[in-house]
A and B are shown apart, each in its own frame.
Chain A
Amino acid sequence: EDKVVQSPLSLVVHEGDTVTLNCSYEVTNFRSLLWYKQEKKAPTFLFMLTSSGIEKKSGRLSSILDKKELFSILNITATQTGDSAIYLCAVDTQGGSEKLVFGKGTKLTVNP
């Protein structure tokens, strides 16, 4: 059974801290790994990673994939209270149909 595990499940930091969120996976037919940010409503897309070792970066957020060790990390530097959200990791498996398998998410709280 395809599995995506995120850690930690929750994290509380102060503004300005740097955080690292982890995502490991065991799936058949890996195609890509995606990170989403979910505040109160709809998950919003952050990154899609398909190749090992190539860092994706957007402002203070960055992510990298290791296909050999089957994990990805999401880094957030100089955190702000607006970064408080649930960060979801999902793996796109391709086995006849496109299917995203999600982890449980990491709840990040950034205190002022």
Chain B
Amino acid sequence: EAGVAQSPRYKIIEKRQSVAFWCNPISGHATLYWYQQILGQGPKLLIQFQNNGVVDDSQLPKDRFSAERLKGVDSTLKIQPAKLEDSAVYLCASSSSDWGPNNFGNGTRLTVT
């Protein structure tokens, strides 16, 4: 089966600019997650979708981050405006089970200068 697809692979922007990441989960997976992984840290959950509804966005900085999953399939994560501390790898994951993500994409590495 095809894995979780993410794009772009890398992105370099200046602070205060906007950026968007895209994720296409494994076909049929109802649950989709966005994680932020800062260098030297484990992934931190930003938002979890079940189909097209938000289940948990308690750690999403809502003043600058937004995410949507229209039609319950692929998803976009946006940052506007970006700050230096947003530099990280943004991982998307999907799951068909209810015990947590077990299928990660390769991530988008964001560098904010």
| Chain A residues packing against B (C-beta within 8 Å) | 4, 31-32, 34, 41-45, 48, 88, 90, 92, 96-105
Residue of B nearest to A46 (CB): B102
Q: Is the interface of B mostly helix, strand, loop or mixed?
A: loop
In the assembled complex, the CB of A98 is this many whole angstroms from the nearest CB of chain B, namely 5
Bound-state CA distance A34–B95 (Å) is 14
Q: Is the interface of A mostly helix, strand, loop or mixed?
A: strand
What total of A-B pairs shows CB separation below 8 Å?
59
Bound-state CA distance A99–B58 (Å) is 11
Residue of B nearest to A41 (CB): B106
Tell me if B40 is interfacial: C-beta within 8 Å of chain A: yes
**Which residues from chain B contact A105 at a C-beta distance below 8 Å?**
41-42
Given contacts A4-B42, A43-B43, contact A100 B104 (CB under 8 A): no
In the assembled complex, the CB of A32 is this many whole angstroms from the nearest CB of chain B, namely 6
